[in-house]
Chain A
């Protein structure tokens, strides 16, 4: 059979995470994939080495627009590792609150996009509306919807005003029933089952081989979570569950993320109700020469930071490893045997940044472009429509109106 080569990316090097995927296709089935990363060298590590330890936090915060707390969290842990200093307990609680709020808004953003890729634009709209509540909570606590600027080596920069806590708790209570409704909707919908169950399966062995991290590994039955594996933040102070499922398909990845959000609400509520009194800063005076490593469970998996100090003002070496770097190659295991219509949702299931899937393009062997990112999403949405008609599901009027417009 004639083989077709489909290059995906990297068309917008200015955007975050431009990766390159070369899909080899037989008819509609993907037989092989070549994943390449490293197209976007932003020089963040060097930039961080030019700044002081305090200023670096703000550069690190801007590595990713969505996990803008995960990187500072890992970085501050690395600097504290050099000094052998622990942040005060109140600071740890505030850090946990910010990190969990970020996990919630990141997962919600992903869930909305997954809905959009599958042709469920109502899910897209509802989930993003729900996400606004979380962003409001973050604004109340830190003063900004994103890029919270709360972290500093040795503690946090701003305290949480106790007067804000009732308002925040009210907002959290408002999110919970809608989130549960969404989980039930995902669990009951036969069309979603048809589109996601058994699609893009990452086996436990493959997850271990590729060193998959975060929800990608937990959906494949690998119980791997920095929050449980190490003691940091306030995670060890409360009861919460690590969500692990067995199948490793797209459905399980959706389920893991939704259930994780419910756990996040649990953690957030505990932290707000049991916020200890005391200092929020350990007041680090100088940072001795040495090396430190810091990790944090970002929404997508483990973020790893290595910082070396020579006793001066700023880091002399700073190494960052983001979770998508480990998760992206799993695409090689999941895409084989899948249909092109499933390509976008399988890639989206590992939760790379949106721009990755946006820049997809399909062309034949002569280099003529067949589909671009928009086309691939449309293809995916049509597939859902097909299943809907097959299973006799009634399409809501809003879906009809918005189909193909977004």
Chain B
């Protein structure tokens, strides 16, 4: 009876010497382990605005709005920290070398106003020149042209966007050709208008 008590007493003394397992958090800032999964953050340099992250997110913590801001069509991608489950699917699905959205080690996500618990990134949009519909983010189309190389020139939407970005096409030249007929095929078109100009005409 006595001997086992000594064994437990030893453990008690050890516990007293080692101290509590918990850290002295408010006084000493907490650093998580390197592999910690914290808040996902957009990277301004890499994100192309392709919305792959929105599609794979199991918690629907990412959404987007396409609006006109200051005469420019802009896609705003929002990531909501309150619904995020930090699973890392967005990072795994990111087409821009998994760097467009990346889990950080930020864990201190407390907020007072739930409506403010999001972060967003803005991407310029490319619009259809006939109907004005959204085709995609400009950076995303440029990313595609980079990826497929010379195959870009099989699609006017792709090469027009590319060449205009490089400043090789004068926008004024295109204005003259605006006739609503088959010449529209050489413009930047959404999928529906491309079908219309090709077969529907």
| Docked-complex contact A149 and B59, CB < 8 angstroms | no
**A157 CA to B86 CA, complexed, in Å:** 13
Interface-side segment among A16-24, A28-36, A138-146, A221-229:
A138-146
Determine if B37 and A149 form an interchain contact, defined as CB atoms under 8 angstroms apart.
yes
- Interface 1/0 per residue, A81-122 and B, CB below 8 Å: 000000000000000000000000000000000000000001
Q: Which of A129-150 contact B (CB under 8 A)?
A: 129, 132, 136, 139-144, 147, 149
User: Which of B7, B32, B58, B92 is packed against the most chain A CB atoms within 10 Å?
Assistant: B58
On chain A, the residues within 8 Å of B88 by CB distance are 143, 149, 157-158
Query: How many whole Å from A61's CB to the nearest CB in chain B?
Result: 9
How big is the A interface, by class? 20 to 34
Which A residue's beta carbon lies closest to that of B5?
Answer: A394
What's the nearest-Cβ distance from chain B to residue A181, in Å? 6
> Who on chain A is nearest to B93 by CB?
A54
Tell whether A277 is near chain B: CB-to-CB under 8 Å: no
Is B1's CB within 8 Å of the partner chain A?
A: yes
Which secondary structure dominates where chain B touches chain A? loop
Partner of B32, one of A139, A158, A178, A393: A139
Cβ distance A168 to chain B, nearest Cβ, rounded Å: 11
Contact, CB under 8 Å: B4 / A189: yes
Contact of A140 with B15 at beta-carbon distance under 8 Å, contacts A132-B21, A185-B4 already known: no
Also in contact, A126 and B15, with CB within 8 A (given A55-B56, A55-B58, A184-B7): yes
Tally B residues with Cβ within 8 Å of A: 26
Interface check B129, CB cutoff 8 A: no
Verify A139–B1 contact, CB threshold 8 A. no
- A59 CB-CB contact with B under 8 Å: yes
Partner of A126, one of B7, B11, B35, B86: B11
| Minimum C-beta distance from A294 to chain B (A) | 19
Residues of B within 8 A of A158 (CB): 35, 88
Q: Total number of A-B contacts with CB less than 8 angstroms? A: 70
Q: How far is the CB of B36 from chain A (nearest CB, A)?
A: 5
B63 within 8 A of A: no
The answer on a CB contact under 8 Å between B35 and A58 is: no
Q: A142-B35, A143-B36 are in contact. Are A184 and B4 (CB under 8 A)?
A: yes
Known: A158-B88, A184-B4. A178 touches B35 (CB 8 A): no
Bound: A149/B20 CA distance, A: 29
How far is B102's CA from A143's CA once the two chains are assembled, in angstroms? 14
Known: A144-B86, A149-B37, A161-B35. 18 other contacts (CB 8 A): A51-B58, A54-B56, A54-B58, A122-B12, A129-B15, A132-B22, A143-B33, A143-B35, A143-B86, A143-B103, A144-B37, A157-B92, A164-B35, A178-B11, A181-B11, A185-B7, A188-B4, A396-B12
The 8 closest A-B pairs by CB, nearest first: A143-B37, A55-B58, A58-B58, A188-B4, A149-B87, A143-B35, A132-B21, A129-B21
